[in-house]
A = this chain, B = another copy of it.
Amino acid sequence: MQPIGFVRSPYSETSQIPKGCGAKHDAEGVLEILPEFEEGLQDIEGFSHLFVIWTFHKAEGFALLGKPPTDDRAHGVFATRSPYRPNPIGLTVVQLIRREGSSLQVRGVDMLEGTPILDIKPYLSSIPEEKLKRGWLDEAEKRKLK
């Protein structure tokens, strides 16, 4: 695994990244792709949304159970977005604002400044919201609303 580029983000520390119930991810940032991979961006500008696969480069080690900021109960790491994962891979859906050469200006950044990017893929289709069940997250939100 090698970085194909790096994230330019307004967040230099994890404490700055919005977390928990109703956190908004509207921050703009740039996906700076290395010049040797720029050709791989051809025609990407036609897509409104992208999957960005990246590494939690500041996270060390992993925990199979952990309490997310959205709940006071512990859950399995694969049922959360915790950075402390067996493979420290992050996944973010961003909106593509525009491309300038090897730079992609995007909205929805929740990564730290300097985060290594492993891959970018087009976002092609969605699961309809009414078909989604969100397990412990919905339950935690309901407990907080009470």
B-binding residues in A (CB < 8 A):
1-2, 4, 33, 37, 39-49, 51, 53, 64-65, 74-81, 85-87, 89, 91, 93, 118-129, 131-139
Pairs A–B under 8 Å by Cβ, sample size 18: A40-B77, A42-B79, A43-B136, A44-B78, A48-B132, A48-B134, A53-B53, A53-B87, A78-B119, A87-B119, A122-B134, A122-B135, A122-B137, A124-B134, A124-B137, A126-B126, A126-B129, A126-B132
Copy count, this protein chain: 2
Query: Which one of A49, A86, A93 has the greatest number of beta carbons of chain B within 10 Å?
Result: A86
Query: Which one of A2, A40, A123, A125 has the greatest number of beta carbons of chain B within 10 Å?
Result: A40
A89 to chain B: which residues have CB within 8 Å?
Answer: 53, 118-119
Q: Are A122 and B49 in contact (CB under 8 A)?
A: no
Q: Are B53 and A37 in contact (CB under 8 A)?
A: no
A64 to chain B: which residues have CB within 8 Å?
Answer: 37, 39-40, 42
Q: Please, which residue of chain B has its CB at the minimum distance from the CB of A50?
A: B78
Q: Are A133 and B48 in contact (CB under 8 A)?
A: yes
Q: Please, which residue of chain B has its CB at the minimum distance from the CB of A128?
A: B126
Q: Are A119 and B86 in contact (CB under 8 A)?
A: yes
